[in-house]
């Protein structure tokens, strides 16, 4: 080792492939009605250990076959890493399914906030723990 600094690019963001679906039962448990049947879809999501709540672009809502009228009203406020406000349109309750390296199915239920500021899906630290992507006491 020459003990010198090397110029190189950052590692790519970590993405995982999930299966997601909204559930009438979860909406009902919270006192809301899901008016539209949800599709079950495959969705790429960024594993964001700094994210406190799951966040998805409205395109994800549309891919599920849902509309803005299916969103649960919320007063949640979010800020991006650069401290800019993220516009929250509402939330949806999602069943999130992943598979580990051995093919074991891992699931979590998460309230996912919907925004028109991004097209990505961000998995929160709590969801990452539930899906055994990171340990409970990370870091």
Helix (H) or strand (E) holding 54: strand 54-57
Torsion-angle region of 60 (φ positive above 0: left; ψ -120 to 50: alpha; else: beta): alpha
Predicted local confidence at residue 120, as pLDDT: 95
Q: Is pLDDT of 75 > 80?
A: yes
Residues 37 and 35: their CA atoms lie apart, in Å, by 7
Which pLDDT band, with edges at 50, 70 and 90, does 123 fall under?
A: very high
The answer to whether the CB of 129 falls within 8 A of the CB of 107 is no
Residues 105 and 102: their CA atoms lie apart, in Å, by 9
The predicted-structure confidence for 19-71, as pLDDT tens digits, reads as follows 999 999 999 999 999 999 999 999 999 999 988 999 999 999 999 999 999 99
CATH code, 15-130: 2.40.70.10
Query: Where in the chain are the domains?
Result: 15-130
Q: Is pLDDT of 1 > 60?
A: no
């Amino acid at each position: 080792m020459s003990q010198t600094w090397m110029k190189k690019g950052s590692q790519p963001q970590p993405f995982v492939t999930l299966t997601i679906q909204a559930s009438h039962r979860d909406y009902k448990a919270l006192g809301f009605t899901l008016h539209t049947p949800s599709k079950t879809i495959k969705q790429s999501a960024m594993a964001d250990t700094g994210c406190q709540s799951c966040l998805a672009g409205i395109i994800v809502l549309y891919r599920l076959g849902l509309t803005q009228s299916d969103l649960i009203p919320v007063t949640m406020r979010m800020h991006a890493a650069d401290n800019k406000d993220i516009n929250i349109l509402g939330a949806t309750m999602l069943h999130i399914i992943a598979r580990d390296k051995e093919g074991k199915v891992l699931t979590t239920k998460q309230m996912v906030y919907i925004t028109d500021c991004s097209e990505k899906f961000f998995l929160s630290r709590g969801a990452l723990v539930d899906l055994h992507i990171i340990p409970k006491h990370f870091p």
